Amino acid sequence: MKKSLFAIGCAALISASTAFADGGMFEAWLPENMTADVVAAVKFTRMQFSNWKLEDGTSSYTWLFSYDADLKNHWSVVDWRNKLNLALGYTWTDGLGKRKSSDKIFYETMADFNVSEKIKPYVGARFESQFTRGYDYSEDEDGNEIKTTISHFMAPGYVTQMAGVGYFPNDNFSTRLAFANRMTIVNDDSDTYAYADDKDTKKVEKFKDEPGLESITEFKYAFSDIVNFKSRLWAFVNFKGFDQIDGRWENLLVVSLSPLFEFQVGYDIAYDKDLDEDSQHKNMILVGVTWRWF
């Protein structure tokens, strides 16, 4: 039975490798008026120590699932783009237990009207949240762990509507400026979540509506057939003042080690005054199995 499963797995990998070499598993099914970049990936690392006295070591494992889809339909009047980014990952460390390392739900849809080749008005909407609960970890006087829920699905959730103008000089670079309405939603009765709360009022608000200006700049570049880089800079400022700015800069370098394996280096910077007065930083180095659809 195990040999049969192993043979089936090898056959699937060989078949997938052949398809990936042509650009993606479902590349032949892509409509002529559509361009797509869709990748599913699973990353896993494991370190296990048992009576290992040669050097210090702590047993641990990390897994991460991600799904990135960027689809664009082209028509003479309008281009319709849909982006979906999903990620969920955990790390287990001996002595600490399980901790969440990644959790993201991001969906964005935009329609660009082709009034000219490089300058186009557009409208769009975006939804952002997470899958599972996030915790703050502390200890009581006896050293026992205390887990305090600080976030979960729709706590917070962000819904943004925007309308503006974009500049598209080439296929690798674009920048947009729009009037945007950003809504922060907290679907919970607890007072723990202050994401939508106005600190100047006694009431704990569960909904916040912020009209303002939004900027999105995207850049991508293929150094070769196996090395790609992409970057996205997002900024939002409400009409209360420029000290209310939120922003996120995401960078990702991808090296295709083989049709099924990728090496990734990522670095993100985020700032949200409602969450923290200081900027937030995240960097990652990952190697894992990838399944390219398109």
The pLDDT tens digits of the residues spanning 93-134 come to 988 889 999 999 999 999 999 999 999 999 999 999 999 999
DSSP string, 170-219: SSSEEEEEEEEEEEEE---S-SS--SS--TTSSS--SEEEEEEEEEEEEE
Percentages (nearest 5) of helix, strand, coil residues in the chain: 10, 60, 30
Distance CA 138, CA 148 (A): 8
The confidence score (pLDDT) of residue 53 equals 63
Percentage with pLDDT > 90 across the chain: 49
Task: Report pLDDT for 190.
Answer: 55
Q: What is the pLDDT of residue 255?
A: 92
Confidence of residue 20 (pLDDT cuts 50, 70, 90): very low
Instruction: Check pLDDT > 80 for residue 210.
Output: yes
Long-range contacts of 82-87 (CB under 8 A, 24+ apart): 82/107, 82/108, 82/109, 83/107, 83/108, 83/109
pLDDT of 11 strictly over 50: no
Look at residue 3 in the predicted model and tell me its pLDDT. 44
Asked if pLDDT for residue 12 goes beyond 60, the answer is no
The pLDDT score that the predictor gives to residue 30 is: 85
Structure tokens given for 74:
């082209």
What pLDDT is recorded for position 88? 97
6 — phi, psi (to 5°)? Answer: -65, -40
Q: Which two tokens stand for residue 98?
A: 């399980």
1 — pLDDT class (breaks 50, 70, 90):
very low
Cβ proximity of 158 and 172 under 8 Å: no
Q: Stretch 197-218: mean pLDDT, rounded? A: 87
The pLDDT tens digits for 68-95 are 999 999 999 999 999 999 999 999 998 8
Q: Does residue 192 carry a pLDDT above 70?
A: no
Share the mean pLDDT of the chain: 85
Task: Give the pLDDT band (50/70/90) at residue 6.
Answer: very low
Each residue of 37-69: pLDDT tens digit?
899 999 888 888 877 766 677 889 899 999 999
pLDDT at residue 19, as a whole number: 41
Distance (Å, rounded) from C-alpha 122 to C-alpha 164? Answer: 5
Question: Mean of the pLDDT values across residues 201-215?
Answer: 88
Give percent above pLDDT 70 in the chain: 87
pLDDT confidence band for 202 (50 / 70 / 90): confident
Higher pLDDT, 182 or 48: 182
